[in-house]
A = this chain, B = another copy of it.
Amino acid sequence: MLDDKIEAEKPGVSRRSLIAKGLALGGAAALGGATTASAAGNPANQPPNVPEWSKVLGDGVAVRPYGHPSKYESNVIRRDVEWLTASRESSVSFTPLHELDGIITPNGLCFERHHGGIAEVDPNDYRLIIHGLVDKPLIFTLDDLKRFPRVNRAYFAECAANSGMEWRGAQLNGCQFTHGMIHNVMYTGVPLKILLEEAGLKPNAKWLLLEGADAAAMTRSLPLAKALDDCLVAYRMNGEMLRPENGYPARVVVPGWEANMWVKWLRRIEVGDEPWQHREETSKYTDLLENGKARRFTYVMDAKSVITSPSPQAPLKHGKGFTVISGIAWSGRGKIARVDVTLDGGRNWRSARLDGPVWDKSMTRFYVEFDWDGSELFLQSRAIDETGYVQPTKDELRKVRGVNSIYHNNGIQTWYVAPSGEVENVEIS
């Protein structure tokens, strides 16, 4: 798929050309000149005047013992889509990807997917049971888990149904809704391997049953080999304890695999010799093909990317001139090796600049800086991971998988940017 359309261009924009182009910025006005109309605001608070907030004492320390964002950022929230599900208890809310940057998702904005609502677990009564094909069945308290060696790792968690509504065509007009069932945080937890070895595995142990303490008793089968490889029983995210929405006080982290397997409010691990064929791996979270058969145990989230800004909820409102395209890429098979971006619907591609940590099975941030001439754009991004896997087009996916599934859609996303700067979710062929 990597064809000759890729320009022989170095990633990013050279410092020299950037600065020359930067002078075209509408808003960087000489002192005394006019500033951009888009941020007109209140001239009384702008140079040469001293703003109001410089004249009065503000709130003191610890007025907010646990802080929250500025009141001017009240639009940066998780959102659900009312018609998408029958109840809020078995539903989804989406991460506002278009309002974020970098690779860390703030805990308060991590997407939610619950099957029986948020279990409000009392940490004093929290217990994790490990039993089945083990030498010694064990029950751990939360304090017990904290006494085992712990590690810190950042991983993306993506719902298998992320972008699922787009199988039959462009539908949801916002990056938050098409791609917002993903978050990326730094976990602290115990390698699952250590807990299993503590219990002692019988020779015929091959699979784990993971069960949550929520009202849905969310249950999935996990191959033992994956559990022993890189899975965690995590109790912290981004430094603090897990949030209730994310499995407080402990959940499983299954790096690179569909987030439904990352069982929250983890209550029980049973060790067995075959998968349990549970509801969530037979009726749900399988991919129904055109011939009526279903792909099953499709755990790995393949390489994917999306431009988060501009996007329908984040239009290019400043008009023509120098601008930054920002996006994210990830792969369940390892590190992101490269991201290509096209401005013209695939005729010409350039390599994006990857910035910040490029980690195994973690979100990677990419940028493309360019001087927009104000004409219409068809933006796409295409992720390539370290195994050489290339993110496919939606049509390529449909050819193989049909359009019956709502899972595992990692097709290339197209945003149409109008000369007005408005952005729309479209498909081009």
Footprint of B on A, CB under 8 Å? 12-13, 15, 18-19, 22-23, 25, 27-31, 33, 35-36, 38-42, 45-47, 51, 53-73, 76-80, 87-89, 91-93, 99-110, 112-114, 116-127, 129, 131, 136-144, 146-153, 186-188, 194, 197-198, 213-215, 217, 236, 238-241, 243-245, 248-249, 265, 267, 317-318, 321-324, 326, 353, 355-357, 365, 367, 369
Contact = CB atoms under 8 A, between A and B. Distances in A.
Contact of A186 (B28, B103, B241): B103
A42 to B, nearest CB: 5
Given A18-B149, A62-B80, A66-B108, 17 more contacts: A30-B137, A46-B127, A53-B122, A55-B215, A57-B117, A59-B89, A60-B89, A60-B117, A61-B92, A62-B88, A65-B77, A65-B93, A67-B109, A68-B243, A69-B243, A103-B152, A147-B323
A328 to B, nearest CB: 10
Contacts of A326: 150
B108 A68 contact: yes
B241 A117 contact: no
A232 to B, nearest CB: 12
7 contacts: A22-B148, A53-B122, A54-B213, A58-B215, A65-B93, A66-B69, A68-B68
A196 to B, nearest CB: 10
Contact of A30 (B54, B100, B102, B138): B138
Contacts of A35: 127, 139, 141
Contact of A114 (B13, B61, B188): B61
A5 to B, nearest CB: 25
Contacts of A126: 39
A142 B36 CA distance: 10
Contacts of A66: 68-69, 76-78, 108-109
B238 A106 contact: yes
A16 to B, nearest CB: 10
B36 A141 contact: yes
Given A45-B125, A150-B324, A143 B62 contact: no
Contact of A104 (B30, B238, B369): B238
A63 B79 CA distance: 10
A23 B188 contact: no
A106 B188 CA distance: 13
A67 B93 CA distance: 12
Given A131-B31, A367-B150, A101 B236 contact: yes
A369 B149 contact: yes
B30 A93 contact: no
Contact of A61 (B78, B107, B125, B322): B78
A213 B53 contact: yes
B51 A121 contact: yes
Contact of A152 (B101, B136, B239): B101
Contact of A102 (B56, B152, B248): B152
Contact of A41 (B108, B124, B140, B198): B124
A186 B109 contact: no
A233 to B, nearest CB: 13
Given A124-B42, A125-B41, A76 B240 contact: yes
A326 B125 CA distance: 25
Nearest to A119: B53
Contacts of A142: 39
A326 B149 CA distance: 10
A101 B356 contact: no
A217 to B, nearest CB: 6
Contacts of A58: 89, 114, 116-120, 214-215
Contacts of A125: 39, 41-42, 45-46, 51
Contacts of A53: 119-122, 213-215, 265
